[in-house]
Structure 1
Amino acid sequence: MRKLLMVSAAATLAWAQPAAADTVTDWWDVANRYYNAAQGMPGPRSPDMERVTTRAALAMFEAVNAIDRRYHSHLGMPAASGAASQDAAAATAAHAVLLKHYPANKSALDESYLFVMTAIPDGAAKEAGKAVGLQAAALAMDAGGIDPAVEQVPYRPRTVPGEWVATALPSLDSYWPGFKPWVVDGPEALRPPPPPALTSAEYARDYEEVRRLGGKASSERTPKQTLVARYRQAFDITPSVRLATDAAGRSLVDNARLLAVYQMAFDDAVQAMVVAKQHYDYWRPVTAIRNGDRDGNPATQHDPAWVPLISTPNFQEYPCGHCTAAAVIGEVMKSASGWKAGQRVRVGSLLNPNAVTLTLGSWDEWVGEVSDSRMLGGVHYRFSNEAGEEIGRRAAQIVLAKALQPLARGKRRR
């Protein structure tokens, strides 16, 4: 679950031309920017919107891998001519997927596509690459949708008959349980155990931590901790992805696999996290702390006027979504060939894109900082952060172990 930058449709036009690196990474970046921009659009969201970036990444992988045959196909894509243009295939695959999902942005997407394609020499290789890309896009757009056999139950506010509760419904739609997972057996396979009992020492410990450090008026939170809470709300991993995909010795299909694995693991982890939130329906610190005299735990101090440092998301607390996403990213990025042990991690902010890109010592350090930020912001307990991290790590490990595995040497193209 990502906190996303809200921008206007017009701003998307400025992003339409991919920067220099490689075709796959460029179009993944473009897909993310379109997705982020779409968060601010009016009207109801569709389930397809949640899968668009993954479909684009997977389509590019299938297209490039069909030409440079090194990994198992996830969608049953047949091998293509090794003479076909990989760049034409990747660009065509991504363009077709994005155009299907963002038809209102056809002009900008077509311009992006034209910039890439005009740089590829005309001829049979280019035309063959285009055909491969369209075939991969068609397969990707048919994958990862809603399973009609799964019941989607609208949220029902829990209250005593006749007693008022807030009327704003949670912003997590009821379609989340219905997605067909990419790799994980199902969201229940990653469900964490229940949160600690309200009367437990663990609950009191983590309650008091967020009460002391996560409140807007906290006198115990340091200036640096305040910055961490705000800066990590909407993280941008593009700088580090560029470092990994630009590393010497990596091929286009290696980069396509990395991004496809990341996107599939992200989707499966986020689905599990959302379904767990809906299952446990756990209260946020702002609710708990204002009602701390009613939780049956003498070790919790209640504060009827307490408010968090940052705005509380309008959905259930347990487990932490940011922590889930960060753990997925960390596990996948650590697996990338070319990512050196001890290499510094560079992460930006979508919330403040003009801020400097921060550098940390490792992915594990960054994941821990993201988790800390949610407690320091007053929106999560530490036990919820830990549960989210575990979902993300397990999802990434499962996808890395099962999806897009290397072909036996004798079956590789080269």
Structure 2
Amino acid sequence: MKFTLAFTTLITLATAQYSGDVVQFWNYRTSYALNASSPRLGSLHESYVGAFVATAVLAAAEDAKRESREVQQLAVSHAAHDALTRIFYAQYQRIDAYFKEIENAVKPSAQQAAAGRRIGEAAAAKVVKARADDGFATYVPYEFQSPAPGVYQPTPPNNPIPATQQAKFVRPFGGIRSLPVWKGPPDVRGREFETALKQIKEKGAKTGSTRTADETEIGYYWLESSITYWNRLASLVVGDSLASDVLKSAQFYAKLNWAIQNAGIIAFVAKNKYDAWRPITALHYKPVFLRSGRSYYTPEWEPLSPTPGHQDYLSGHAVYGSSAAGIIRRQVGSDKFKTPLSVLSTVTQDNVGDVTRTFKSLSQAVKENGDSRVFVGVHFNFASDEGNKAGEVSADLVWKKGTSDYLS
């Protein structure tokens, strides 16, 4: 199936009204809840929330598929409401208000409302039970290793302990039994690493960089949470094409968020397995370690954006973006947009404000997303390039698996 967009479109979360696609509605509201959480969740936690809520919605849509459209909409809404309230209990009033929006739009009869409640609440409870022992809450301590070439060290300004050590214990979503363990990064003494080190020293610096104006804009633009951005982009691409079929919409958004979460698992397993240093650590490392004998020691070097609190390889931004694009591409049957697609992102860092980028294809967006991490100085290019490959593998696994046996 090919898809088209009738015009270049700008979208923000604030403008997303109920279009008749109840699943899309709750997908947006999940992003609202993530954006409103304080403190803000880490990326693997955000992707887990997205996958958890989407799974509850799918379970409700499947259980209500023979019911009237009103019952289906209410069932999905109860499932999403209960899943979100369980996670974001401090936001219960806001989540209740989202549910009221649907009630006001659907206007169910008392019988329909009762059936929707019964099915939706049961579906959410079923997913809670299925994921109760999925390993996500596993405690795993982390100890910094002695400084050495390639070894992760605390990164300024906050010097955090690397996040999400439990990734290898987390059960994938979507009925996927196992995920690939990604190959390691290049040898830090070799030519490939030296090329990447030189590139990020020049392109990722806060001051004195060789970035073009466009590269700087790309860097800032993609700072938004990958989880909320790619869900937003997916909704823009599919538009209201799934609004008439609650189950098909639920299947799409479930696959989207399963692929994103599973890609995050692949990334964080690699991060913890290889414990690879960040660019700022490599550029602040004084002893000569490259086989070429060259030194790139630059103690005053700072990245354009503060370094996230976990290891370099693989890039989470890259795996999330390419996994989402992989599902969107398979859903709509094309990588290219017939009409250029413009998407706005509000950048809070450095008072940048609203930035709009225009894309001709999903591949272009994926490439920009990965490259942006070099332009802000937080990832070597190979972390993003390999992350893009890993995300595509995650999407392919989810797409082939479909929706069968997804609660196991």
TM, length-normalised to structure 1: 0.81
Shift, 1:59, TM fit: 1.4
Counterpart in the other structure of 2:235: 241
- Picking from 237, 256, 266, the partner of 1:262 is 256
Indicate how the Cα distance of structure 1 residues 400 and 100 shifts in structure 2: closer, same or farther if over 3 A, else same.
same
Indicate how the Cα distance of structure 1 residues 281 and 264 shifts in structure 2: closer, same or farther if over 3 A, else same.
same
Shift, 1:16, TM fit: 12
Counterpart in the other structure of 1:62: 59
Whichever residue aligns with residue 102 of structure 1, its letter is: F
Give ranges in structure 2 of 5+ residues lacking alignment.
1-12, 148-152
User: Aligned equivalents of 1:33 and 1:52: distance in 2?
Assistant: 12
Indicate how the Cα distance of structure 1 residues 48 and 203 shifts in structure 2: closer, same or farther if over 3 A, else same.
closer
Indicate how the Cα distance of structure 1 residues 354 and 137 shifts in structure 2: closer, same or farther if over 3 A, else same.
farther
What are the within-5 Å matches in structure 2 for residues 12-411 of structure 1?
Answer: 19-40=18-39, 51-68=48-65, 81=67, 85-119=71-105, 120-147=107-134, 152-159=139-146, 166=154, 168-182=159-173, 183-186=175-178, 189-234=179-224, 236-237=229-230, 238-247=232-241, 251-291=245-285, 293-297=287-291, 298-337=293-332, 341-343=336-338, 344-349=340-345, 351-352=347-348, 355-404=354-403
Indicate how the Cα distance of structure 1 residues 248 and 83 shifts in structure 2: closer, same or farther if over 3 A, else same.
closer
Over the matched positions of the two proteins, sequence identity in percent amounts to 23
Q: Residue deviations 1:156-215, cap 9 Å, x none?
A: 11127xxxx7594424133333221114333xx322211111221111111111111111
Whichever residue aligns with residue 171 of structure 2, its letter is: K
User: Aligned equivalents of 1:341 and 1:109: distance in 2?
Assistant: 36
Q: Residue deviations 1:22-54, cap 9 Å, x none?
A: 21111111112112321426xx99x98763332
Q: Residue deviations 1:46-86, cap 9 Å, x none?
A: x9876333222111122122233xxxxxxxxxxx5467621
Shift, 1:339, TM fit: 6.4
User: Aligned equivalents of 1:33 and 1:249: distance in 2?
Assistant: 20
Secondary structure at the residue paired with 2:337?
A: coil
Indicate how the Cα distance of structure 1 residues 314 and 129 shifts in structure 2: closer, same or farther if over 3 A, else same.
same
User: Aligned equivalents of 1:241 and 1:339: distance in 2?
Assistant: 15
Whichever residue aligns with residue 25 of structure 1, its letter is: Q
Indicate how the Cα distance of structure 1 residues 94 and 207 shifts in structure 2: closer, same or farther if over 3 A, else same.
same
Counterpart in the other structure of 2:3: none
User: Aligned equivalents of 2:380 and 2:281: distance in 1?
Assistant: 12
Shift, 1:401, TM fit: 0.5
Indicate how the Cα distance of structure 1 residues 405 and 334 shifts in structure 2: closer, same or farther if over 3 A, else same.
farther
Shift, 1:386, TM fit: 1.3
Indicate how the Cα distance of structure 1 residues 288 and 400 shifts in structure 2: closer, same or farther if over 3 A, else same.
same
Indicate how the Cα distance of structure 1 residues 339 and 280 shifts in structure 2: closer, same or farther if over 3 A, else same.
same
Larger RCO, structures 1/2 (Cα 8 Å, 6+ apart): 2
Shift, 1:356, TM fit: 4.7
Q: Residue deviations 1:132-167, cap 9 Å, x none?
A: 11111111222334446997430011127xxxx759
User: Aligned equivalents of 2:136 and 2:242: distance in 1?
Assistant: 46
Secondary structure at the residue paired with 2:127?
A: helix
Given that 1:48 and 1:145 are in contact with CA atoms closer than 8 Å, whether structure 2 keeps it comes out as: no
Q: How many pairs align?
A: 373
User: Aligned equivalents of 1:67 and 1:143: distance in 2?
Assistant: 19
User: Aligned equivalents of 1:340 and 1:378: distance in 2?
Assistant: 29
Given that 1:63 and 1:133 are in contact with CA atoms closer than 8 Å, whether structure 2 keeps it comes out as: yes
Whichever residue aligns with residue 204 of structure 2, its letter is: G
User: Aligned equivalents of 1:81 and 1:19: distance in 2?
Assistant: 21
Given that 2:343 and 2:358 are in contact with CA atoms closer than 8 Å, whether structure 1 keeps it comes out as: yes
Indicate how the Cα distance of structure 1 residues 171 and 89 shifts in structure 2: closer, same or farther if over 3 A, else same.
same
Indicate how the Cα distance of structure 1 residues 339 and 296 shifts in structure 2: closer, same or farther if over 3 A, else same.
closer
Indicate how the Cα distance of structure 1 residues 146 and 397 shifts in structure 2: closer, same or farther if over 3 A, else same.
same
Given that 1:214 and 1:376 are in contact with CA atoms closer than 8 Å, whether structure 2 keeps it comes out as: yes
Counterpart in the other structure of 1:73: none
Given that 2:137 and 2:166 are in contact with CA atoms closer than 8 Å, whether structure 1 keeps it comes out as: no
Greater displacement, 51-60 / 331-340:
331-340
Secondary structure at the residue paired with 2:165?
A: coil
Shift, 1:347, TM fit: 3.4
